[in-house]
Homo-oligomer: A and B are copies of this chain.
Amino acid sequence: MKRIMCVVKYDGSGFNGYQRQPGLRTVQGEIEKALEKIAKKPITIHSSGRTDAGVHANGQVFHFDTEGAMDGCRYARAFKSLLPDDIFIVSSQEVDKGFHARYHGKIKEYRYQLSLNAYAPIRRNYTYFHPRNLDIEAMREAMAHLVGTHDFTSFCGIIDESDKVRTIFEANLYEDEGELTFQFVGNGFLRYMIRIMVGTLIAVGDGRKSAKDIPLIITGRNRKLAGLTAKPQGLYLEYVKYPQEVMEQTAFPFSGIE
């Protein structure tokens, strides 16, 4: 048995999200369909995490186990002719059997694209258009409050008893001629967390909320305190990083995934 790890890019526009669902077109479903053709039997893949409908990935990671004799590095090419053109396997390699795409993926970067410029049809699935001025400095000040280890219950789309504590290592907002990029690097993100953070930051930029409200929203631990959930099409999973010690255990160590 071999464990194979793949890095995959996809355009989320045409999928009902990442996770396999009967009768619906999903990223996992399409990859498993192609993998079944390669392996001649059904194989389940395990990703670093799900992405919602409409969300894109530039560096999602998944692994699977196979009895096949083919070299790990050859899967990327084998997938190429079998996958639809909105999914692209960037690389594949054999990893240690102890490697797990989800459990070991300890650093993730997401980006969110927001445009303050006029609507452009060719970018409608790839950017959230908000053609009004926003106070960028106030948004940056608000973002700084999100960095650190917090209970993010107020920024989570699901109400349950699970642990809502996460750490955001870095949060930046770049602006280039009305095109905003929100960058979040953390040890994991709750469901809708980035989109709710962005929705809240838009409220700060609009003046409906203030940067000083963010610490109160966090400590309030109540979804109603935060802003709206920003639309999915602006969101990109950029990469997943695995700790050096996990990668050193792999049969084919590598320095990073990016």
Contact = CB atoms under 8 A, between A and B. Distances in A.
Interface string A82-103: 0001111010000000000000
A122 B118 contact: no
A110 interface: no
Contacts of A118: 90
A11 interface: yes
Contacts of A122: 9, 11, 56, 126
A121 B85 contact: yes
Contact of A121 (B86, B121, B124): B86
B11 A121 contact: yes
Q: Which range holds the interface residue count of chain A? A: 10 to 19
B9 A87 contact: no
B87 A121 contact: yes
Contact of A9 (B58, B121, B126): B121
Nearest to A118: B90
A69 interface: no
Contact of A88 (B56, B85, B119, B126): B119
A62 interface: no
Contacts of A11: 121-122, 124
Contacts of A128: none
Choose among A58, A85, A121 the residue with the greatest number of B CB atoms under 10 Å from its CB.
Answer: A121
16 contacts: A9-B120, A9-B121, A9-B122, A10-B121, A11-B121, A11-B122, A11-B124, A58-B120, A85-B121, A85-B124, A86-B121, A86-B124, A87-B121, A88-B120, A90-B118, A122-B126
- Please provide the 4 A-B residue pairs with the shortest distance between their CB atoms, ordered closest to farther: A11-B121, A11-B122, A86-B121, A88-B121
